[in-house]
Amino acid sequence: MADIFRTSDGVELNVLDDRGPGVTVLLTHGWTSDLRVWDEVAAALAGRVRVIRFDHRGHGGSGAAPRGGATLGRLGDDLAELIADRVPTGPLVLVGHSMGGMAMMALAELHPELVADRVAAAMFISTSAGRMGEVTFGLPKPLVRFAVKDRPRKSSAGPKKAPKKPVEPPSRLRVLGGLLFLRWLVFGTRFRLVDVRSVADQLAKSHRASAGGLRREIVGKHSRVAALAVYSQIPTQVLVGQLDRITPVDHAAEIARAMPGTEFVRYPAAGHMLPYERVGEVVTRIMGLARGARTAGAAPGPGRRPRGAARG
């Protein structure tokens, strides 16, 4: 069921809540994606668990971030408010892809008691705890620095110019080139054209200013290895594709090292988009965490079992 959740700073988030039995699985998407990235995963989970997914501020059907509100910390606050409103009780499994995983880290940094008391298990997919400014996507560093450099906007002062001609739609060749680049950048060796087109459409629907603010946060300020300690007392999994150019394997390994005992899974030939590339494997692992949460009773609070006991 689709509805709207209004955050404390007034942003309306687009939410899909597929009611199911027992455990709630909350899915969070990445930068310039939206809740559609989880379509196949959510469909496979339907009827087995309750599935909540939503569009982050500035993405998909959600409202744009206000000035100063396009930050990972604010995404962590959004998660905290959404959990408190929609999942105040019962077993909860958090699953974050890319920026969604970073939002989960921000949640732990800003609301550690909520994670300790409410989250029964967590999964970090194709994400990073920091050092994103070092990522080169497999390209020469000078080229990357030029491509991602923030350029000053032209001033609106001065005499008015003649109205610009209507912008013509991109040519078929340009569209094809964009799809080929996206396919190379975010997918591994196995991909479907329909998924590449979906990624492109989600990118096109993201709010430019909100996405820009979040990119600057991710590249310049995101450093949350310490926050991962909050997840170290619950069952966690870290998933990454061996060919991930956005959040490479060594970034996933750093997350896993910060949570001793976590399950660290690498998928050969896969890229950044595991929710598309490895649907079956992702669903199986989410259901494993959900069954564990159900079996353990997800007893939150001071009496929560240590990690080892929760795993059996």
Each residue's pLDDT tens digit, 247-273: 999 999 999 999 999 999 999 999 999
The domain spans of the chain are 2-135+215-311
- DSSP letter assigned to residue 131: -
Burial class (CB in 10 A: 0-12, 13-18, 19+), 235: buried
> Each residue of 204-238: pLDDT tens digit?
999 999 999 999 999 999 999 999 999 999 999 99
Q: What are the two backbone dihedrals, phi and then psi, of residue 284, each rounded to the nearest 5 degrees?
A: -60, -40
Rounded-to-10 torsion of CA 137, 244, 212, 149: -10
Dihedral, 256, 258, 259, 264 alpha carbons, nearest 10? 0
Q: What is the mean pLDDT of residues 35-41?
A: 98
**Residue 199 reports pLDDT greater than 70:** yes
CATH 3.30.43.10, applies to 2-135+215-311: no
- Residue 155 has a pLDDT of 41
Q: Tell me if residue 22 falls in helix, strand or coil.
A: coil
Does residue 162 surpass a pLDDT of 70?
no
- At residue 143, the pLDDT reads 36
Place of tokens 């006991």: 309
Region 40-56 average pLDDT: 98
